[in-house]
Amino acid sequence: MSPTDTSAGPPAVSLRGIGMAFGGKTVLESVSLDIAPGSVVALLGANGAGKSTLIKILSGVHTDHSGQVEVNGDPAALQSPLAARQLGIQTVHQRIGEGIVPGLTAAENLVFEELAQRRGNPFLDGRRLLARAREIQSALDLGWSDQVLKRDVTELGISDRQLLILARALATSPRLLVLDEPTSALSAAEAERLFALVERMRDDGIAVLYVSHRLGEIDALADRLVVLRDGRLTEDQAKPFDWDRALRAMLAQAQGAQAQGTRTRGAGTARPTDAKQGPGPGTGSHAGATSASGSASAPASGEIAVSLRGVPLLPGRTPQDLDLRAGEVTGVVGLLGAGKTELARGLFGAEPFPTGTVELDGRPYAPRRPADAIRRGVHLVPEDRHADALVPGWSLAQNVSLPFLRSLSTAGLVNRRRENALGRDTIEQLGVVARDEHSSVEELSGGNQQKVVVGRWLAEKPRVLILDEPFRGVDIGARRDIGRRARALAAEGAAVLVLSADVDEVLEVADRVVVLAAGEIHLDAYGEDAERDRVIRTISASV
C-alpha cells in the first residue's frame, strides 16, 4: 500500500509494527511507516484514531509500546522527550501550554533547549542569552524587539507562543519535525509564513510529519498522506491525492463492516414521501432538508423544537439557518474545525452565539450560561468527558445527579435516596457495568464512563439532547447502547442532535444527516439523499 520512496539512503524515521494499549483497549495496532528525509508526510485521522498516541511515542512520552522506532536506519530507544530530541525528533504540540515555561521570559524560552542540555556555553550571561534568542527568532523572521523578548512568555499572545515553540524546535536542526495542528492558532498571514518555512525545511532535507484537519493545507504542502483509523493505517497515498478515497479511509468503515450492525435509519419514525424544492448550498438557509444539489427531501412530521436563524458557527463564515424537530435524531457530520462543537456549545449556553436568533418551542431562546439551557430542557453530553463532565472521586450516582442538585435538595441537603435511585436507573437503562451506584467513576471503563455522562442528561427528560462525539473511546457494545437510548428518547418526543466526525456513527443512529464544513451546511438530507457515499462526496467536495 505504501507509495514508492525514491529518496536515497535510509528513512529519517521508521516505525515498525508499533502497538499501544491503555487499560486493555488497543489504541494503536501494528503501525509501520517510513518518513523520508526532505519529505512532508501528512497524518490524517478523526478524533480517537490514535494520532495523539503516535505523536507521543515519537516524542518519547509513551515508552511502553510494542514494535520498534528506527532513526536513520538504526534502532532508537525513545525513553524520554529529551532522548527523542537528542536523536533529532522535535515536536510542536497542539496544546501550546505544553511547550512553554511560565515564569521565564520569551528569550529564555527560545534558548530553553540549550539551557536544559547545558551544551557548550550555558548562556548564564543575560546579554549573550538575548543575542542567542535574537538569532533563533530570526529563523522565522519574528521581528520581536528586545522589549518583547524580555517579557514573561505568558504575556505573549497564543499565536506568538506557537511561533516561539516552532522557532526553538528549528534551532536544533531536527531530523524529523512533528507539527500537530500547527495553524490552529495562527492568522492567515502567520500560516502563510509557516507554509513557506515547511517548504524550506523540505528543501533542506528535514522530514516533516504534518498533522492537520485542514485538508487544503495538506493538499498544498504534503508529498504524501497516510490515514489512521481505529489505531491502524488504512490509507497511504503519494501526490496527487484521491480525496474521496482518503476520506472514506478516515471517516467510514469498510463496506462489509458497515453493513453489519447498521440499522435502517429512521426506524420507528414516520418517513415523508413527498419532496420539495429548497435553497442550494452556501446560501445559509437550511430550515428544511436541503441537499447539496438543491433538491430536498421533506422533513419528518414532528414539530420544530429548535429553530436557528442567521447564526454564525465560525467567525467570518456565512450565518446558518437550521431547524431541529421533535421525535427525530439529527446527525451532524464534520471534520475537526467544521463548527460542530461551536453549534453544541452555543445551544447549551457555554459559548453563546454572537449574532442571530434561536427559538425553542416557538419562544425566544438565548442562554447565556448552561444553567439557563438546563432550565429550558436543553442538555449537552460534551466532547471531552474527562475535562467537562466527570468529577473524579465522586460516585456514579453523584456524577449523574450533579446538574440537578437543586431539584434533589431540601433546605440545602441532597436527598441521597433519590440521588441513588437516579444512579440505579442509569445502570439499568444504559447497561452500565458497575458494582453499584456507589462505585467511583474511576473504577469504570471508558465506555461505561461515557454511559454515565449520557445517563446524567437523561435523568430528567430533556426537550433537546445534544451529543457531541458521544462514541469516542467506547467499544461497539457501548456505542449501540448509547445509540439505542438516543433513538428511544426521540421516540418519546425529544429532539436529539448527534455530532460526530465518523460517518458510520451518524448513519447508524440518525434519521437525518447534516454535513458541516468550515462552519457552513453543505448537505441536509433524509433517506436515500443521505446515503454514505453521498455524505463522503460532500465532505470531499468541501476540501
Work out the mean pLDDT of the chain and round it to a whole number: 82
Which grid cell sits at 264? 435502517
Do 388 and 351 belong together in one domain? no
Cα distances from 217 to residues 42, 60, 188, 194, 220, in angstroms, run 10, 27, 12, 11, 5
Which grid cell sits at 275? 419532496
7 vs 392, residue with greater confidence: 392
Maximum alpha-carbon separation in the chain:
79
Do 236 and 293 belong together in one domain? no
Number of structural domains in the chain: 3
Question: Rounded to whole angstroms, how far apart are CA atoms 169 and 443?
Answer: 40
Q: Which of 204, 235, 256 is the last residue of a domain?
A: 256
Do 54 and 112 belong together in one domain? yes
276 within some domain? no
Do 18 and 78 belong together in one domain? yes
* pLDDT digits 0-9 by tens, 368-380: 999 999 999 999 9
* pLDDT digits 0-9 by tens, 185-233: 676 677 787 888 889 889 989 999 999 877 888 888 999 999 998 899 9
Which grid cell sits at 111? 534558548
* pLDDT digits 0-9 by tens, 429-465: 788 888 888 888 888 876 788 888 888 887 778 999 9
Do 43 and 168 belong together in one domain? yes
Do 429 and 298 belong together in one domain? no
Half-sphere exposure of 397 (CA within 13 A, CB side): 18
Confidence of residue 291 (pLDDT cuts 50, 70, 90): very low
Residue 371 belongs to domain spanning: 285-377+463-472+493-543
200 within some domain? yes
Instruction: Tell me if 59 sits within 8 A of 81, measured CB to CB.
Output: yes
Question: End-to-end distance of the chain based on CA atoms, in angstroms?
Answer: 24
* pLDDT digits 0-9 by tens, 127-147: 788 888 888 887 777 778 888
Per-residue pLDDT, 289: 41
Per-residue pLDDT, 475: 62
Q: Is the peptide bond before 240 cis (omega within 30 degrees of 0)?
A: yes
**Residue whose cell numbers read 455530532:** 499
Q: What CA dihedral angle connects 327, 329, 330 and 331, to 10 degrees?
A: 180
* Closest alpha carbon to 473 in 383, 353, 348, 379: 383
Question: Rounded to whole angstroms, how far apart are CA atoms 105 and 103?
Answer: 7
Q: Do strands 357-360 and 304-311 pair parallel, antiparallel, or not at all (unpaired)?
A: antiparallel
* pLDDT digits 0-9 by tens, 21-59: 876 778 899 999 999 999 999 999 876 788 888 999 999
Give CA 258 to chain center in angstroms. 22
446-458 and 416-430 are packed helices; what angle lies between their axes, rounded to 10 degrees? 120
pTM over 0.75: no
Instruction: Tell me if 87 sits within 8 A of 32, measured CB to CB.
Output: no
Do 25 and 144 belong together in one domain? yes
* pLDDT digits 0-9 by tens, 509-536: 999 999 999 899 999 999 888 888 888 8
Q: Which of 459, 484, 512 is the last residue of a domain?
A: 459
Do 89 and 221 belong together in one domain? yes
Do 173 and 47 belong together in one domain? yes
Per-residue pLDDT, 68: 94
Per-residue pLDDT, 396: 92
Do 368 and 407 belong together in one domain? no
Do 407 and 328 belong together in one domain? no
**Residue whose cell numbers read 474511576:** 442
Question: Rounded to whole angstroms, how far apart are CA atoms 493 and 319?
Answer: 28
